[in-house]
């Protein structure tokens, strides 16, 4: 018996057993309740109400009458804008509220639909609890998110108008049309006469208008009612039966209108209910993508149950989710409410500009106009239902028609990826925590001793004095300047963490200044909000306040943040914001920010404002110093891509998290924030050697490449690993470094047109339907490099989907692969190998001299790799600048276009500039001496077989270079190597193979 057995243990062992049992149960509970720390839809009042509203409308079918209409006399169109008033009927007496509507047709071909609420707009409402909150719906998300593309197209024109609606043509060659129906209010967006997107076609639009709270008396109970359990049971059964019958005018659930509690916290809701919801249908589209950050597949799942589907909507509510679960619509650290839909040869998208908590339901349904039609003639529509807690109803519509078009026009609105510091594309070595400056130096020395290349070493929170940011632990980091100089001598950088919570401690200068200047976030009563985070009691800087941004910037000057140098950069973590004792581990929604906005209004953009404040700070650390900031953020919103990089947060050291990282990073890229990565090796836990090796191989193809580990994880720097794994990881790192010129060129394109850096198949091949749901392989920029990381234990082969008829070569062996369009190709992938193919028709640059950091590669010569296409041609690009300053804005860059046509390979300026007319700065002058060292042509034609040398023409001079031709051998393609080309990388040149 348990009792008897336990009684035989010594007191010491009995105590230990009890402690072990208690800890085990706590750990089990901890794992089980992590998801329960965060709301499901039924626990979020406004989500529950709007889902119920939708359920009722769907159940009623054709008898449902949406209560929104536009009186034709209140509608007008002028100079590219349609303006009207939507009337919402709010009761059986026919009373209405006014909702101003504006539909703007932009020069980019994008349409913007904005709905406000007049009563709130006019501030004609009463706030409860004497709140100091603003009365309007939040209308400043645009100020943080939108940077351009809002010019109205005054040429947009009315093609048809009547009392029932209006049709407006706009966009390129007037190919787009908005068909606005007045009663009930709805909009169809068409391209070339075909409907692509519908707003409110199912009548689920719901804009919760302001209404005063009316205290309703509790109904009096009749004598003896308390004991009538039988009667209560009968009443419950009666209620259940009533719920089964949809109501024509459903009674509204008021239980969470005026306050709402969760996890011991109560939200006071001074403005009452104010949610906005809209159904958006993608007509004929089966695949939708985007709305990061979530841990599921790239092609979004349905959310209303059924086999393989989710039960919950996708949630966007930035939160500190500890050890997040996989394959879930649960919220994570960032939010980009941008969704794209894809069908064969057609891409469209919608951007929902709302910074409040948002839920999105996704369902799919077959539709056929002919009830007898079967099979292919029945198209699939994807129905989405967008629900936000507050703010405007503000949506942008993109009609493509290509993925590139949608990415480009979205980037015109929200901005594109900042040109990065070149070092930031190298490898970053991080853990929580390197314990001292000597520890940092020793890691750096050992990386060199074992020939492991890297660029940056990181410091987590333990470097500070008692979790006080902008300070150093004087015992462990006695001389941070010496540490920084040591790294600088090796061409390396340091990143230090700075979070938004400021320790509430007397005598701590940052805290004293924050409070004395009144720059902290306020609670609902207008006092400095006090919450709990790493330092204990903390205040939060209110980065919505311009004065706070200015003050924050002053803290980063080299004089004030002592111990930092020009090679010190910053990591912003916990900026959702994370509040350990707050509701859902974040800030109360009724907190107040600058301008009187409630936190509920701005929550999802909050992290970006802090990221922005740090970005501004790094621009002004020293007078006359103007360098590109590098800042990593965990929390983000649409527009954060302008400010730096992100990572996918607290993942786990297991194969499932390795596999999940790829669709997560792909989703970031197509949603406009491609500078992204996942913690290589997994943050929590200790990866086995095979997993760690495979993760580095995958990480070598993340745009942001950082190894990171929890404070309780074993040390796992690459030099510590047993062979062959140390060599395997070092090879993956060297592959990354050799391809840095190609990566930098991909970042340039992302900066110019918003294109993803790693690209899913639907984006690169929008005609190939077989690739639309593939999210475990991708192309790198426009290089033609196709990667399929191995993400399964003991897997030694990889099945790669081939999306076209082009020729493919193995990157390492030059083997010409036996491929078929629309079929999978199985390639060998032993532990030391990364499945990496070269698509024919592409040219990409490399640097092949092994170095220990990117800084030491800056003026190395280049290798040009040509993968000859089926038609005997190939093309590609190189973009390079100083990788540090903003001088590229003054023409201080090299941008080359490479083309192989017939027997000639040529390099010309990609923009047609007369490069000789560019006034050279110091960097361009040094680049004169950087040359093309060699050219490798894979798939070289047999007509070159007898060549011994080739002719090079450059700068009016003709020279020659040796060529080694290697005939095809079995499955290996023929290839040729031109040695010591010598032509300047920035000059025009041509090589004749004849």
* CA distances in angstroms from 716 to 430, 463, 707, 834, 882, listed in the order given: 10, 20, 9, 21, 33
**Residue 994 and residue 981: Cα distance in Å, rounded?**
16
Query: How far is C-alpha 375 from the geometric centre of its chain's CA atoms?
Result: 36
Do the beta carbons of residue 784 and residue 867 sit within 8 Å? Answer: yes
Respond yes or no: is residue 73 known to be catalytic.
Answer: no
839, containing H or E segment: strand 836-839
Residues 497, 578: Cα–Cα separation, whole Å? 15
Neighbours of 502 (CB within 10 A): 25
- Strands ordered across the beta sheet of 705-707: 676-677, 645-647, 631-633, 568-572, 493-497, 456-459, 427-429, 705-707, 679-680
- Exactly one of 117, 590, 650, 679 is catalytic; name it: 650
Burial class (CB in 10 A: 0-12, 13-18, 19+), 484: buried
Per annotation, catalytic residue among 576, 584, 768, 877:
576
State phi, psi for 468 to the nearest 5 degrees. -100, 110
**For residue 481, what are its two tokens?**
């300047």
The closest alpha carbon to 360, from 61, 600, 52, 41, belongs to 41
What tokens were used for 833? 């190998």
User: Which among 153, 444, 573, 584 is annotated as catalytic?
Assistant: 573
Bridge partners of 895? 879
Q: How far apart are CA 991 and CA 994, in angstroms?
A: 9
Instruction: Give yes or no for a contact between 963 and 944, defined as CB atoms under 8 angstroms apart.
Output: yes
Spatial contact of 132 and 526, defined as CB atoms under 8 Å apart: yes
Catalytic (active site) residue 884: no
Candidates 845, 831, 838; CA nearest to 811 is: 838
Q: Of 706, 709, 659, which Cα lies nearest the Cα of 683?
A: 709
How would you classify residue 536: left for phi > 0, otherwise alpha for psi between -120 and 50, otherwise beta? Answer: left
Instruction: Look at the block and give the residue holding tokens 């706009």.
Output: 170
Tell me which residue of 571, 779, 766, 801 sits closest to 669, measured CA to CA. 779
Q: Is the peptide bond before 298 cis (omega within 30 degrees of 0)?
A: no
Q: How many CB atoms lie within 10 A of CB 624?
A: 4
Residues in the chain: 994
Q: CA 780 from chain center: how many Å?
A: 17
**Helix ranges restricted to H, 123-173:** 141-145
Please, are residues 524 and 486 in contact by the beta-carbon 8 Å criterion? no
Beta carbons of 85 and 68 less than 8 angstroms apart: no
Handedness of CA 146, 148, 149, 153 (dihedral sign): positive
Q: How far apart are CA 350 and CA 366, in angstroms?
A: 21
Catalytic, 573? Answer yes
Rounded-to-integer distance, Cα 51 and Cα 385, Å: 9
CA distance 135 to 875: 57
End-to-end CA gap in the chain: 91
DSSP one-letter code for 468: B
Catalytic residue list: 573, 576, 650
């Amino acid at each position: 018996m348990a009792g008897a057995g336990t009684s035989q243990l010594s007191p010491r062992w009995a105590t230990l057993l009890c402690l072990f049992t208690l800890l085990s149960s706590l750990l089990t509970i901890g794992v089980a309740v992590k998801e329960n720390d965060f709301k499901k839809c039924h626990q979020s009042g406004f989500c529950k109400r709007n889902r119920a509203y939708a359920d009722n409308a769907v159940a009623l079918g054709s008898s449902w009458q949406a209560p929104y209409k536009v009186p034709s006399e209140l509608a007008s169109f002028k100079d590219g804008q349609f303006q009207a008033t939507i009337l919402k009927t709010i009761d059986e007496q026919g009373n209405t509220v006014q909702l101003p509507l504006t539909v703007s047709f932009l020069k980019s071909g994008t349409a913007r639909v904005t709905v406000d609420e007049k009563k709130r707009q006019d501030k004609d409402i009463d706030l409860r609890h004497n709140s100091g909150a603003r009365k309007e719906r939040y209308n400043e998300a645009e100020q943080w998110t939108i940077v351009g593309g809002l010019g109205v197209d005054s040429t947009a024109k009315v093609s048809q108008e009547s009392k029932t609606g209006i049709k407006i043509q706009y966009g390129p060659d007037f190919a787009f049309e908005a068909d606005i129906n007045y009663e009930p209010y709805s909009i169809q967006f068409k391209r070339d006469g075909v409907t692509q997107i519908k707003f409110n076609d199912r009548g689920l639009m719901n804009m919760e208008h302001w209404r005063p709270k009316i205290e309703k008396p509790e109904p009096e109970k009749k004598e003896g009612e308390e004991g009538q359990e039988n009667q209560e049971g009968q009443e419950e059964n009666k209620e259940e039966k009533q719920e089964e019958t949809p109501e024509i005018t459903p009674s509204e659930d008021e239980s969470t209108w005026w306050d709402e509690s969760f996890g011991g916290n109560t939200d006071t809701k001074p403005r009452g209910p104010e949610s906005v919801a809209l159904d958006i249908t993608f007509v004929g589209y089966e695949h939708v993508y985007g709305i990061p950050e979530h841990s599921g597949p790239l092609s979004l799942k349905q959310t209303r149950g059924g086999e393989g589907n989710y039960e919950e909507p996708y949630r966007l509510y930035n939160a500190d989710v500890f050890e997040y679960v996989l394959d879930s619509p649960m919220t994570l650290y960032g939010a980009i409410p941008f969704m794209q839909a894809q069908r064969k040869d057609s891409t469209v998208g919608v951007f929902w500009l709302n910074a409040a908590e948002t839920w999105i339901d996704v369902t799919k349904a077959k539709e056929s106009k002919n009830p007898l039609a079967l099979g292919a003639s029945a198209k699939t529509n994807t129905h989405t239902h967008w629900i936000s807690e507050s703010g405007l109803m503000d949506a942008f519509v993109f009609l493509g028609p290509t993925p590139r078009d949608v990415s480009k026009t979205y980037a015109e609105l929200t901005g594109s990826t900042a040109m990065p510091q070149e070092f930031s594309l190298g490898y970053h070595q991080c853990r929580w925590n390197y314990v001292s400056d000597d520890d940092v130096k020793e890691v750096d020395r050992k990386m060199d001793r074992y020939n492991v290349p890297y660029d940056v070493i990181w410091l987590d929170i333990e470097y500070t004095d008692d979790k006080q940011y902008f300070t150093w632990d004087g015992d462990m980091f006695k001389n941070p300047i010496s540490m920084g100089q040591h790294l600088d001598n090796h061409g390396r950088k340091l990143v230090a963490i700075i979070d938004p919570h400021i320790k509430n401690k007397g005598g701590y200068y940052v805290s004293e200044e924050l409070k004395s200047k009144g720059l902290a976030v306020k609670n609902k009563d207008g006092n400095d909000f006090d919450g709990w985070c790493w330092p204990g009691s903390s205040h939060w800087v209110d980065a919505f306040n311009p004065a706070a941004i200015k003050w924050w910037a002053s803290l980063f000057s080299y004089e004030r943040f002592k111990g930092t140098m020009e090679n010190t950069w910053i990591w912003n973590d916990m900026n959702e914001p994370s509040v350990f004792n707050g509701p859902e581990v974040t800030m109360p929604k009724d907190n107040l920010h600058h301008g009187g906005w409630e936190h509920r209004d701005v929550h999802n953009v909050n992290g970006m404002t802090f990221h922005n404040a740090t970005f501004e700070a790094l621009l002004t650390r020293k007078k006359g110093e103007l360098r590109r900031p590098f800042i990593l953020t965990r929390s983000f919103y649409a527009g954060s891509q302008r400010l730096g990089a992100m990572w996918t947060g607290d993942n786990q050291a297991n194969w499932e998290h390795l596999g999940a990282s790829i669709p997560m990073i792909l989703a970031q890229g197509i949603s406009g924030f491609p500078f992204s990565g996942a913690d290589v090796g997994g943050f929590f836990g200790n990866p086995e050697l095979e997993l760690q090796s495979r993760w580095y191989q995958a990480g070598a193809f993340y745009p942001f490449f950082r190894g990171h580990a929890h404070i309780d994880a074993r040390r796992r720097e690459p030099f510590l690993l047993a062979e062959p794994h140390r060599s395997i990881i070092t090879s993956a790192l060297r592959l990354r470094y050799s391809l840095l010129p190609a990566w930098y060129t991909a970042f340039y394109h992302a900066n110019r047109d918003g294109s993803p850096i790693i690209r899913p198949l639907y984006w690169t091949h929008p005609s190939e339907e077989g690739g639309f749901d593939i999210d475990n392989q991708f192309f790198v920029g426009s290089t033609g490099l196709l990667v399929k990381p191995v993400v399964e234990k003991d897997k030694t082969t990889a099945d790669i989907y081939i999306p076209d008829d082009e020729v493919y070569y193995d990157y390492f062996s030059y083997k010409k692969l036996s491929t078929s369009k629309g079929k999978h190709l199985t390639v060998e992938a032993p532990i030391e190998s990364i499945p990496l193919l070269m698509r024919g028709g592409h040219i990409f640059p490399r640097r092949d001299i092994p170095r220990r950091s990117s800084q030491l590669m800056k003026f190395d010569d280049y290798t040009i790799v040509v993968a000859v296409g089926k038609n005997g041609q190939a093309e590609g690009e190189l973009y390079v600048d100083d990788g540090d300053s903003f001088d590229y804005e003054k023409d201080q860059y090299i941008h080359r276009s490479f083309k192989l046509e017939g027997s000639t390979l040529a390099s010309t300026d990609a923009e047609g500039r007369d490069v000789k007319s560019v006034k050279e700065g110091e960097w361009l002058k040094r680049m004169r001496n950087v040359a093309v060292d060699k050219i490798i042509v894979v798939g070289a034609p047999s007509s070159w077989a007898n060549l011994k040398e080739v002719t090079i023409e450059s700068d009016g001079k003709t020279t020659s270079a040796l060529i080694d031709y290697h005939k095809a051998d079995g499955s290996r393609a023929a290839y040729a190597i031109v040695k010591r080309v010598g032509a300047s990388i920035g000059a025009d040149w041509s090589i004749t193979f004849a």
